[in-house]
A and B are shown apart, each in its own frame.
Chain A
Amino acid sequence: MVFCTLFPLFLTSTVFADRLHLIVLTRAYLNCNSDNYFLHGQVRMVEDDLMYSTFLEVYENHCARNDREADLPITYFKEQLNQAISGQISPEAVVDLRLQAYNEITKIYVSDGIFSQYMYKTLLSGNHMWAFKKQFAIQLALSSFMSFMLQIGGRSPNKILFAKNTGKIFQTDFHPAYDANGMIEFNEPVPFRLTRNMQAFFSHFGVEGLIVSAMCAAAQAVVSPKVSFGDHPFSW
């Protein structure tokens, strides 16, 4: 969280980053220092906003509309992998089985248009949709860049909040995990979350255009050797 507040200072250092309006928008927060041994200043009050929803809420909303249990995909996945749990099949076959179960779930229970449908029903007009998509894509790119940079994992849908009116993104539990030697521990196969539902919402143009270029511009701005902080508008 603290680095998130410092991170914007690095982002306005190249013309390209400025053109894309790369600004990290975070929610206001207040650290409450505690003398409690187990807390050690970890108590943090964060601004509440009713316009924020999580990706999980979007999915649950979809399930409620279709009169379906939200846990069905998990139940189905476990049923399909019963053989693997009992150790009856080889590790290679387990991978095939997992892929098969995943494909079935995406076909039957979790289609790639859930998020798009939710946003089309939430936003008032095409203009709102365009503005939201643009802002949301850039915020998602910066958030994903932070995830990649600091190797932050565990990005489950209930930990990613987005504002339905502004496209701002806020992530909870957004910090790296450490192994026994104090080095960042990251065992996930993907560096950030970009699911089929997000891809469908942004389309090919949004992903290849806005998100990729915003991530590249952010990386370039952060490592750009040319600019000193003395020239930054905040220091005037």
Chain B
Amino acid sequence: MQQSKHLWHQLAMFFRDELLSWSWRRPLGLNLGPAASGSSMNPADFKHKVTTNVDNVINRITGIAPQYLSEEVTSISNFPSNVISQLHILVVMNSRDTGPGIFW
């Protein structure tokens, strides 16, 4: 899964918890118009609030993030996992042969 989707879901969970807590903290007797308090909040409305807040945050981040990803930046992430595991095995075997002094 792409990291941007992970970020979206993590932020959605964050705002879900925050808004749930916020809705319960509001005074029960206070007339706050269309946004009902706590237990009577409409699920669709709640989802809309979460989605809007998440989208706003992501827009803010993308607004300041450098848009250009150089080859160097992306190169390590493009390594296939089997290459990483083979490298790991190679390093472990090498350290067994030569002793821990290789790392010093």
Contacts and interface: CB of A to CB of B under 8 A. Distances in A.
A183 B78 contact: no
A181 B10 contact: no
A223 B33 contact: no
B58 A42 contact: no
Given A10-B7, A180-B32, A223 B19 contact: no
B64 A148 contact: yes
Contacts of A3: 10-11, 14
Contacts, number: 104
Interface string B57-72: 1101110111001001
A223 B73 contact: no
Interface of B is mostly: helix
A224 B61 CA distance: 11
A149 B57 contact: yes
A231 interface: yes
B1 A228 contact: yes
Q: How large is the interface on A (under 10, 10 to 19, 20 to 34, 35 or more residues)?
A: 35 or more
A15 B76 contact: yes
A16 interface: yes
Contact of B35 (A6, A10, A181): A181
B68 to A, nearest CB: 9
A231 B3 contact: no
A176 B10 contact: no
B21 A42 contact: yes
Contacts of B10: 3, 6
Interface string B1-13: 1111011001100
A216 to B, nearest CB: 6
A223 B65 contact: yes
Interface of A: 2-3, 6, 10, 13-16, 40-42, 148-151, 175-176, 178, 180-184, 215-216, 219-220, 222-231
Interface of B: 1-4, 6-7, 10-11, 14, 17-19, 21-25, 32-35, 46, 49, 52-53, 56-58, 60-62, 64-66, 69, 72-78, 81
Given A180-B32, A227-B77, 14 more contacts: A3-B10, A40-B25, A148-B60, A148-B64, A149-B60, A182-B22, A182-B35, A184-B56, A215-B64, A216-B66, A219-B65, A222-B65, A223-B61, A226-B77
Q: When A and B form their complex, which 5 residue pairs have the shortest distance between CB atoms, in order from nearest? A: A219-B65, A182-B49, A226-B77, A3-B14, A227-B77
